[in-house]
Amino acid sequence: MVFSSLLFLFWFMPLFFAVYYITPKRAKNAVLFAGSIVFYGWGEPKYLILILVSVLFNYLAGLLINALYGRTALRRAVFSLSVAFNTGVLFFFKYINFFIININRLAGTSITQADVTLPLGISFYTFQIMSYIIDLYRERVAVERSFLRLGTYIVMFPQLIAGPIVVYSEVNEGLLGRRIIPGDAEEGLKLFVVGLASKVMIANNVGRLWNEIGEIGFSNISTALAWLGAIAFTLQIYFDFNGYSLMAVGLGRMLGFCFPRNFNYPYISGSVTEFWRRWHITLSSWFRDYLYIPLGGNRRGRLRTYVNLFIVWFVTGFWHGADWNFILWGIYFFILILLERIFLLRFLEKHGIFSHVYTMLAVIVSWVIFAVTDLKELGVYLGRMFLPRTGSDALYYLGNYGFIILLGCVLSTPAAKGLYGRVKDGLCGTVISAVLFFLCVAYLADASFNPFLYFRF
């Protein structure tokens, strides 16, 4: 489904943009809305009605919240109903079977699991919908009276299925009217190609190593190969998700929107705290603005701050997936960030080299926790990493994957920005972009290994 959506995008884009660019300004939202519906319907037809119902429900809820200004109790009731609807839909499709499975284990019951699959992009578009409703209730944005404009915001295809999470206040002016500047469109297309190449040529290739280790079996690998595999997944998830985010930002610019940056070279961080300022920036900002600060942030004393941090990181982990390893992953980051707040950050700021080594080790371990959903297998893998086991298997895989790992390490630093800045302009940049694009299309047409890691969230 994900693979077919990506291939569909290649022939869909030229036709869509040809129509979009010649359409008068007043009708561009209609073209974008219709095109986004076609795109989502191609990849997830059975849940198309769900996203349309969500748009309609929140559109009506927004009108009611606005109309009930001054009638506090009723206004709060409508707001609460909207939040309950959005979180309830997300809970049902994403978490209902997780709770059924664990209730059955604990209580010895045999409740039948729900026959549902996770709708594509539901975690992302639910957060976008809620940003509009919450900001409207807080009176930080004006009500959107046009169903078409609100629908366009929610279903806009570039960032619909995997982010970045674009809050309504960042694009509401563009929904009212936007200019398509040729230079921006060209830059957007080049960003799209860079993102596509990051995903297809780096993430896919380095990800094969992690996939092969899974086929070997975690109990059969050496400590060296366990670390090599963990590094491979660390690079895969960055180039996979950052690649898609760049594609979305590039497409957004081609449409006349300026989507927020989602990554800022997180692997150069000197602390876990800094890492989360650079990784999935829009998600971190969403949880800060719509959960951490409303809970009280750090304004109600040290103990309450720690409780708030725990809640945020528990929810962050659980948002990523309905499995215990994701909860463990969130708690793992809570512990590290708590330790940094209490004392460790001051030490790290004084010891630059150590701080970067510590951060990367912590992040690499975190991605192992993230990747392995079976807790027993997770224990085996972490055991292989930290309880030395000899073997020469790592040399074979280093020979096969050493170059792509080294390339990924270099391109995950600001050196990539400098390289892009030198070649992106002029004829040279156009030629390189065209070559990269056709290489990616050829690779996708021939490849059987093409996972999009964040599509399942």
Active site residues: 320
- Please list, residue by residue across 371-381, b when 16 or more beta carbons sit within 10 angstroms of its beta carbon and e when fewer do: bbeeeeebebb
Write the DSSP symbol of residue 126.
Answer: H
CB under 8 Å to 389, separation ≥6 — which residues? 221, 222, 223
Angle formed by the axes of helices 147-155 and 122-137, to 10°?
140
DSSP collapsed to 3 states, 336-389: HHHHHHHHHHHHHHHCHHHHHHHHHHHHHHHHHHHHCCCHHHHHHHHHHHHCCC
- Would you give the distance in Å from CA 350 to the centre of its chain? 32
CB under 8 Å to 257, separation ≥6 — which residues? 156, 171, 174, 178
What would the two tokens of residue 431 be?
A: 């030629």
For 10-60, the DSSP string reads HHHHHHHHHHHHHS-GGGHHHHHHHHHHHHHHHH-GGGHHHHHHHHHHHHH
Rounded distance between C-alpha atoms, residue 346 and residue 351, angstroms: 9
For 83-121, the DSSP string reads HHHHHHHHHHHHHHHHHHHHHHHHH---PPPP---PPTT
Rounded distance between C-alpha atoms, residue 167 and residue 154, angstroms: 10
Nearest Cα residue to 53 out of 81, 85, 96:
85
What would the two tokens of residue 187 be?
A: 């830059």
Rounded distance between C-alpha atoms, residue 220 and residue 198, angstroms: 31
